[in-house]
Chain A
Amino acid sequence: MISEIRNVKELDEAIDTCTKEFEDKISGAHGKRAVLVCGGTGCLSNDSDAILQEFKRLVEEKGLANSITVNHVGCFGFCSQGPFVKIYPEDTLYCKVKVKDVIDIVEEDLVGGNIVERLLYVDPVTHERVQRQDDINFYKRQKRISLHGCSLVNPDFLEEALGYDGFKALKKVLLTMKPQEVIDEVLASGLRGRGGAGFPTGRKWQFAANQQSDTKYIVCNGDEGDPGAFMDRSILEGNPFEVIEGMMIAGYAFGAHEGYFYVRAEYPVAVERLKTAIKDMEKVGLLGDHILGTDFSFRAYIREGAGAFVCGEETALLNSIEGKRGMPRPRPPFPAIKGLWGKPTCVNNVETLAQVPYIIRVGAKEYAKVGTEGSKGTKVFALGGKVNNVGLVEVPMGTTLRELIFDIGGGIPGGKKFKAIQTGGPSGGCLTEEDLDTPIDYDTLVAKGSMMGSGGAIVMDEDNCMVDVARFYMDFICSESCGKCTPCRIGTKRLYEMLSKIVEGKGTKETLKEMKSLAAVIHQGSLCALGQTAANPILSTMEKFPEEYLAHVERKECPAHVCKRLIRIVINPELCKKCSLCARNCPVSAITGVPGKEPYHIDQNKCIKCGACLASCRFKAIHKE
């Protein structure tokens, strides 16, 4: 255990010892082995904590405690295959592990030295079992900068962070760089904000640095609210020290001595690990006064958000930290001029700050080699929806959607046809087949009518109705609008109602026109980015799938057979085997027939289109039309 890191010498010693220890642990020196169990929220909710305890119990029971260490680590990213267990030094990755599998891993692998084949990842195409993480297609094209150390280091131990590059950047900055040099370095790296809008991070810092003020603040935005997104959560859960280090470097660069982490209260694991990290750093002196014996002092605090989507908007977030209702403030003044408690403040996303230590360690030049002309480095996406490999993916900027969805994501399940991918969450837009070969970066996404957003990427297939998708996002926005400004509060509700009219077959071409002009006013006239982007899902689906909207309003048809009011579920009498299963499953007794004698028939007046019959029919005799 490290007790004090009060100066450079102590830091150097700590880094040397911890690095050696960590390398030994992974490389199996002295005949030791290590068991890493995923401790991300996804796997935790699949019993990974019980798995961890079971490992500890069995290792103890078998008398292996001296030769085998067991601990949890952060998210592996490949969430659809979790919970994960990884064994070092062999680098064996076990997937979808259950508590009852632990005994097998212990007896066969840890004791017997044989791999438990049945728990290895199976490639969906080749059907081959893959032992090592790096050989799995999902991981092959990834480059981990923000996720550095996630799924490798124990997030509860400062020693493990120190053993895996931790605080090398902080040391470099405090001892060899002037604040302006840090800003220049970040500017040169081309780093842009990972929270969505992609504002150059160095420029933001420069604005704040230019302000004369006795107090400045750095705020880390961990209020990740996009449906399906969990990048920030996984980073904070997997390596909180890296983000704190990034925050301290930012503070040093523009003159902030206090930092606030604003994290959703729905992320209890992240909050807990961050708390532990801050406490441990304070204990050894890495947070507090005169860090490493320099003049730089820094303190970090945590504020938990109550779960409002709008608090991801920086000015609403600042209000929330101040104890006020999370409602955006008009800008100007911008936070860099007048932010938290009226002081110059920079609000940086978790992922942005997580990139900073890496930039400092390798240098801007090296960092800028990754990415595209206007967008440097890597971006983490939360890949979800109709895609085989659901999970967190960190790829270099400029990766194409095809690579993301088909190579890393493994394509669409069930051989269905790819239809669209929604990036940028409810603020973004959708991209289609024709955009698949577009390299993803901030600018190309905007040019294509979407946006990077915080990194949510939801894949849709031919069974998704795009009007319904737009309606889903509008419903989300309606309830997440803060209620402050008129266009967002009432306008989005009216848009939702227009969409509802359309999916119910009551819309006309006039509705489409009205929707477009209202959407334009909401976009132009709302107070904050939530409102300004609220109509994006509608505008983008209308632009990319005009024929689908027309089908709804002109022919009153839903081509994807999703909108209940516009479809019928029917039984083909020629295929019906008269088994009566559908009738027994119908919750409203809409299906009649005589078992074994008369084919079954659905009374359309009674049918609620729940689809229970469809799912129950074993003979594919029922279909939507």
Chain B
Amino acid sequence: MALIEIKIEGRNYQVDDSLTVLEAARSCGYRIPTLCYWNHGHNSLASCRVCLVEIKNPRGSRLFASCVYPVKEVPASKGFEILISSPMAVEARKTAVELLLSNHSKDCQTCAKNGKCELLDVANLTGAETGKFIGEKTPTTYDELAPGLIRDTSKCILCGRCIERCKEATGIGILGFENRGFKTIVAPIANRSFSKVPCLQCGQCINVCPTGALSEKREIDRVDEAFKEGKYVVCQVAPAVRAAISEEFGHKIGEENGEGKMVAALHRLGFKKVFDVNFGADVTIMEESHELLERISKHTGPLPQITSCSPGWVNYLEYFYPELIPHLSTCKSPHEMQGALTKSYFAEKEGLDPKDIYVVSIMPCTAKKFEKERKENAALGVPDVDAVLTTRELALLIKRSGILYDELKEETFDPLMGESSGAGAIFGVTGGVMEAALRTAYHTLTGKEYAKVDFTEVRGFEGIKEAEIDIEGSKVKVAVASGAKNAKPLLEEIKAGKSPYAFIEIMGCPGGCLNGGGQPFVKPSLLPKEDKDILDTYLSKRANILYSIDERKSVRQSHNNPEIKALYESYLEKPGSEKAEHLLHTSYIATRERYPH
């Protein structure tokens, strides 16, 4: 790292010469407002112009977008000075925000991003007046056809963050700019609905959207309706939710495992049972490792076997690599398995009619909203899962009920499907399914426990990871990818017949469920108490919660979970049994149209 001397507002500073003016100013104690800038700005479009600063040199003065302007271009030695609060710069930033507001629907009160809106934040920061410019607005589109997400262009400020995020996370690039001039909007091709394009519904775009232009499709109303109808409403919570839910109540990221308080809140919200999808994850491991064993020993299917817990990833495969569907595990995702078990195993035990049970999944994920509507996921003639709420929706549910989250005493999940192994807990992080599977697969294949529990080689946030385990002399290679984009090279390898792996874990979202499209927003400008580099660290902070849950568990392997043992002994008999196949396994669609009418 080389240093360069720059001058900001009359004072000289030594800064890293690889920085942009924005980052350099930040390191010198200035926060310049931003909108289109996102995480180090490597994809920044420099389009919103709310980060304009005046750069003065002996020949004159001009405004530049600080988010992309390199400090290398403005050394103090050549007479350059950066002015953040000059009248010209202040006026320009204010005007940019006022112009954005003049073309914005401004229904902040009911907006899904109320309190999480970066536009509102920069409006406050720049002193923008909402009524400054009044005029025609760009014709808008409201798309709520897709089960996972809603696009409301009346709130879009065309920063392009979602466009870049989609490319970066999925490699698809569903979103782009459409139309020209004042009519420009951000949309899937030809302004189609998300449901009419090969969108994974992963919701990564929602997480980076600075305004309410992109949001999850809420299902709280459906849950309310179920309660009103007097249904037996059961809820089940995904592993990753507990790692982030406390953030919604003012806790720093990674500070608190919210499991106990969350369960307490859910009990108070009136759910008859509060089950843990970590249990469902354990079931998944049982079934998935059995399936792997069958593929290896009886050649019941091609290798490598690929995980199927991430519905965004399953969408990707169906849309872009349908010929590889035979590689996909037939296991339903954990919450679907558990929903089916709730409506069969649990229902039988309690003497309930599956039709009267209403299963609500609390998920870090928007694609799960799509997944629950798949016709294949209805083992008992009714959907395995009836509603999916995101972590953010759960927080709203709690706040709406007047429950003071931080004053809750911790409670535990309800029995029958409330106990879980450490393996189930780490399903929420990339590599976790693989690690959990490895712990059990060895046992499934050999009947013996593997000496090692922690497979650290599949931990971490690299796009693709690989590992090798020795199963009684034969080496088995496995790989892990997160972010659909990173799946591509592994899939191409399989297509070419060159894949060296027996088993591959793929998650649709980079980092896994922790980073799902339904998780609390990580917007540095709205989280002043977090570290400056929070966007680089929040994933590992959330992951640490899951790994510490795993560590503290007395049972670390799925097959050793006593409730799992009970489930198989008393109900399913064994993994892959006829009953298990019926309840816990699914099929996929090789003919999904990418651009249906």
Question: Measured between C-beta atoms, what is the minimum distance from A325 to chain B in Å?
Answer: 6
The answer for the CA separation of A489 and B49 in the assembled complex, in Å, is: 11
Residue-by-residue, is A535-547 near B (CB-CB < 8 Å gives 1, otherwise 0)?
Answer: 0000000000000
Complex interface: stretch among B77-85, B174-182, B281-289: B174-182
Which residues of chain A have C-beta atoms less than 8 A from B411's C-beta?
Answer: none
B103 near A490 with CB under 8 A, answer yes
Q: A486-B48, A525-B63 are in contact. Are A494 and B99 (CB under 8 A)?
A: yes
Contacts of A325 in B (CB 8 A): 176-177
A526 to B135, CA, bound (A): 20
Q: B47, A518: Cβ atoms under 8 Å?
A: no
Residue A586 lies at the interface, judged by CB distance under 8 Å to chain B: no
Contact of B47 with A485 in the complex, beta carbons under 8 Å: yes
Q: Which residues of chain A come closer than 8 Å to B160, judged between CB atoms?
A: 484
The answer to whether the Cβ of B96 comes within 8 Å of any Cβ in the partner chain is yes
- The 0/1 profile, CB within 8 Å of A marked 1, for residues 97-134 of chain B is 00110110000000000000000000000000000010
Q: Which residues of B contact A492 (CB under 8 A)?
A: 182
Query: Which residues of chain A have C-beta atoms less than 8 A from B176's C-beta?
Result: 325
Cβ–Cβ contact A527 & B47, under 8 A: yes
Which residues does chain B contribute within 8 Å of A342, judged by CB atoms?
A: none
CB contacts (< 8 Å) of A494 on chain B: these are 99, 102, 133, 135
Q: Which segment of B87-95, B239-247, B339-347, B510-518 sits at the interface?
A: B87-95
Q: Give Cα distance in the complex from A527 to B45, angstroms.
A: 10
Contacts of B96 in A (CB 8 A): 486-487, 521, 525
A486 and B157 alpha carbons, distance in the complex (Å): 8
Q: Which of A330, A332, A490 contacts B99 (CB 8 A)?
A: A490
The verdict on B531 contacting chain A, using a C-beta distance below 8 Å, is no
Q: Are A483 and B181 in contact (CB under 8 A)?
A: yes
Using Cβ atoms and an 8 Å threshold, which residues of chain B touch A382? none
Interface residue? B158 (CB, 8 A): yes
Q: A322 vs B92: C-alpha distance in the bound complex, in angstroms? A: 32
Q: Which residue of B has the minimal Cβ distance to A333?
A: B70
Bitwise, A459-488 to B at CB < 8 A (1) or not (0) is 000000000000000000111111111110
Tell me if B73 counts as interface (CB < 8 A to partner A).
yes
- The reply to whether A486 and B49 form a contact with Cβ atoms under 8 Å apart is yes
Contacts of B184 in A (CB 8 A): 481-484, 489
Residues of B within 8 A of A518 (CB): 95, 133
Interface centre among B68, B73, B99 (most CB of A within 10 A): B99
User: Which A residues are in CB contact (< 8 Å) with B88?
Assistant: 524
Once A484-B45, A497-B136, A527-B65 are accepted as A-B contacts, the answer to whether A479 and B95 lie under 8 Å apart by CB is no
- B99: chain A residues at CB < 8 Å are 486-487, 490-491, 494
Report the bound CA distance from A487 to B68 in whole Å: 17
Inter-chain CA distance A327–B179, complex, in Å, is 12
Does A493 sit at the interface, judged by CB under 8 A?
yes
Of B50, B65, B95, B103, which one neighbours A330 at CB under 8 angstroms?
B65
- Asked if residues B92 and A524 are in contact (CB atoms below 8 Å), the reply is yes
B52 at the interface (CB under 8 A from A): yes
Chain B 31-72: CB-based contact to A (< 8 A → 1; otherwise 0): 000000000000011111110100000000011010011100
Q: Could you say which of B95, B103, B158, B180 contacts A308, with CB atoms under 8 Å apart?
A: B180
Shortest A535–chain B CB gap in Å is: 13
When the two chains form the complex, which single residue of A480, A491, A526, A527 contacts B180, counting CB atoms closer than 8 Å? A480
A-chain residues with CB within 8 Å of residue B135 when the two chains form the complex: 493-494, 497
* Chain B residue at minimum C-beta to C-beta distance from A523: B63
Question: Which residue of B133, B176, B182 has the most chain A CB atoms within 10 A of its CB atom?
Answer: B182
Please measure, in the bound complex, the distance between the C-alpha atom of A492 and the C-alpha atom of B133, giving whole angstroms. Answer: 12
Question: Which residues of A have CB within 8 Å of B158?
Answer: 483-484, 486, 489
Category for how many chain B residues contact A: 35 or more
Q: A332-B73, A493-B135 are in contact. Are A485 and B46 (CB under 8 A)?
A: yes
Closest CB in chain B relative to A525 CB, distance in Å: 4
Q: A479 — which chain B residues lie within 8 A by C-beta?
A: 180-183
Question: Between A and B, how many residue pairs show CB distances below 8 Å?
Answer: 109
Contact of A526 among B49, B100, B177, B182 (CB under 8 A): B49
The answer on a CB contact under 8 Å between B181 and A484 is no
Min C-beta distance of B94 to chain A, whole Å: 9
If A330-B68, A483-B177 touch, whether A490 touches B102 (CB-CB below 8 Å) is yes
Shortest Cβ distance from residue B190 to the other chain A in the assembled complex, whole angstroms:
14
Most buried by A among B45, B70, B179: B45
CB < 8 Å neighbour of B182 from A332, A493, A521, A524: A493
> Is B136 a contact of A525 with CB atoms below 8 Å?
no
Q: 0/1 per residue, B141-173, Cβ < 8 Å to A?
A: 000000000000000011010000000000000
Give the shortest distance, in Å, between A368 (CB) and chain B (any CB): 26
B80 CB, min distance to chain A CBs, angstroms: 14
CB proximity of B188 to chain A, nearest CB, Å: 14
Among A327, A490, A497, point to the contact of B177 (Cβ < 8 A).
Answer: A327
Complex: how many Å from CA A478 to CA B136?
Answer: 12
Q: Mark B311-334, 1 if CB is under 8 A from A, else 0.
A: 000000000000000000000000
Q: What is the distance, in angstroms, from A499's C-beta to the closest C-beta of chain B?
A: 12
- Does B181 lie within 8 Å of A490, measured CB to CB? no
- CA–CA, A527 and B180, complex, Å: 16
Report the Cα distance A490→B63, complex, angstroms: 18
Which A424-457 residues have a C-beta within 8 angstroms of B? none
B residues in contact with A332, CB < 8 Å: 69-70, 73
Least Cβ–Cβ distance between A423 and chain B, in angstroms: 23
What are the residues of chain B within 8 A of A482 when measuring CB–CB?
180-181, 184
A residues near B63, Cβ cutoff 8 Å: 524-525
Bitwise interface map of B from 441 to 484 toward A, beta carbon under 8 Å scored 1, else 0 = 00000000000000000000000000000000000000000000
User: What is the CB-to-nearest-CB distance from A446 to chain B, in angstroms, rounded to a whole number?
Assistant: 14
Chain A residue nearest to B157 (CB atoms) is A486
Give B592 Cβ to nearest chain A Cβ, in Å: 26
Q: Are A330 and B46 in contact, CB atoms less than 8 angstroms apart? A: yes
Q: Complex Cα distance A490/B103, Å?
A: 7
CB of A521 within 8 A of CB of B180, answer no
Task: Name which residue of chain B comes closest to A308, CB basis.
Answer: B180
* A455 to B65 CA separation, bound complex (whole angstroms): 30
Q: Which residues of B contact A491 (CB under 8 A)?
A: 95, 99
Distance to closest chain A CB from B411 (angstroms): 49
Closest to A501 in B: B135
Whether B181 contacts A525 by the Cβ 8 Å rule is no
Smallest Cβ-Cβ distance to A326: which chain B residue: B180
Whether A481 touches B182, Cβ cut-off 8 Å, given contacts A486-B99, A521-B95, is yes
Q: Given A486-B100, A525-B49, are A481 and B181 also a contact pair (CB < 8 Å)?
A: yes
Q: Which residue of B lies closest to A479 (CB)?
A: B181
- Which residue on B lies nearest to A325, using beta carbons? B177
* Cβ contacts A332-364/B at 8 Å (1 or 0 each): 100000000000000000000000000000000
Contacts of A481 in B (CB 8 A): 180-182, 184
Once the chains are docked, how many angstroms separate the CA of A479 from the CA of B47?
Answer: 17
In the assembled complex, the CB of A424 is this many whole angstroms from the nearest CB of chain B, namely 20
Given A478-B181, A497-B136, check contact A521 B65 (CB 8 Å): no
Contact of A480 among B48, B95, B157, B181 (CB under 8 A): B181
A485 and B158 alpha carbons, distance in the complex (Å): 8
Assess the A527–B179 pair: CB atoms within 8 A.
Answer: no
A489-B73 Cα distance, complex, nearest whole Å: 27
| A-B contact list, 15 entries, CB within 8 Å | A330-B46, A330-B68, A479-B183, A480-B180, A483-B181, A486-B96, A487-B96, A490-B99, A490-B100, A490-B133, A493-B135, A493-B182, A494-B102, A494-B135, A521-B96
Ranked nearest first, the 9 interchain pairs of A and B with the lowest CB-CB distance are A483-B184, A330-B46, A490-B99, A521-B95, A497-B135, A481-B181, A525-B92, A493-B182, A330-B68
Q: B: which residues have CB within 8 A of A? A: 44-50, 52, 62-63, 65, 68-70, 73, 88, 91-92, 95-96, 99-100, 102-103, 133, 135-136, 157-158, 160, 176-177, 179-184
Question: Given known contacts A490-B102, A497-B136, what 13 new A-B pairs fall within 8 Å (CB)?
Answer: A479-B180, A483-B182, A484-B45, A484-B160, A484-B177, A490-B182, A497-B135, A517-B95, A524-B92, A525-B96, A527-B46, A527-B47, A527-B65
A positions within 8 Å CB-CB of B:
308, 325, 327, 330, 332, 477-487, 489-494, 497, 517-518, 521, 524-527
